[in-house]
């Protein structure tokens, strides 16, 4: 993962991103121009409770996309500032309405006592062994988030196996 570092603070429930604010290797096909929304930004969008369309993402411009990628979103203050900046950018650059997304106080990726069913099922569909509980627990917050997102039934799951390999699980 390519990192972009900055400061810390009081962390909200669900884990922190820490310095992992870059793109994964499995996202490298769009990393140069950030034409797709990287996992780190998707994590932040879930955290701030906004569903951002790819159209809205593209309209805010490359400089703003890079800024959103690098911007911290761990503390309550950072989350609110990120949300406010995002709303301002989308409102200024796009006529599309901002869609609120419910925030989950206990997301499945934050659970360390069991591997989420969706991840296990996707691994089996991909004809590989699911992560063990020990492997799942060793992953960073953003790695667990990415595997869960890549396991959704309504998602293109092509990057699931590359993500498992990148995270040292296969």
pLDDT tens by residue, 26-65: 998 887 789 999 999 999 999 999 999 999 999 999 999 9
Q: If you average pLDDT over residues 93-99, what whole number do you get?
A: 93
Alpha helices in the chain (DSSP H): 39-48, 54-59, 62-70, 76-93, 117-125, 133-138, 141-149, 160-166
pTM reported for the whole predicted model: 0.85
Reduce the secondary structure of 32-71 to three states and give it as a string. CCCCCCCHHHHHHHHHHCEECCHHHHHHCCHHHHHHHHHC
Tell me which residue of 67, 21, 28 sits closest to 43, measured CA to CA. Answer: 21
Among 93, 22, 96, which residue's Cα sits nearest to residue 53? 96
**Taking residues 98-107, what's their average pLDDT?**
93
Segments making up each domain of the chain, as ranges: 25-100, 108-166
Is residue 12 very low, low, confident or very high in pLDDT (cuts 50, 70, 90)? Answer: very low
Residue (of 75, 147, 142, 136) closest to 111 by Cα position: 136
């Amino acid at each position: 993962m390519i990192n972009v570092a900055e400061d810390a603070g009081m962390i909200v429930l669900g884990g922190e991103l820490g310095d992992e604010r870059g793109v994964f290797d499995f996202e490298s096909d769009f990393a140069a121009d950030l034409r797709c929304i990287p996992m780190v930004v998707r994590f932040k969008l879930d955290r701030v409770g906004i569903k951002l369309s790819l159209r809205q993402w593209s309209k805010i411009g490359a400089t703003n996309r890079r800024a959103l990628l690098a911007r911290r979103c761990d503390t309550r203050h950072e989350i609110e500032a990120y949300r406010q900046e995002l709303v301002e950018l989308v409102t200024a650059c796009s006529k599309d309405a901002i869609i609120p997304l419910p925030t989950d106080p206990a997301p499945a990726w934050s659970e360390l006592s069991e591997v989420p069913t969706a991840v296990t099922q996707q691994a089996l569909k991909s004809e590989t062994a699911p992560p063990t509980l020990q492997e799942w627990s060793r992953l960073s917050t953003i790695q667990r988030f990415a595997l869960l997102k890549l396991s959704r039934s309504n998602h293109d799951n092509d990057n699931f196996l590359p993500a498992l390999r990148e995270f040292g699980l296969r």
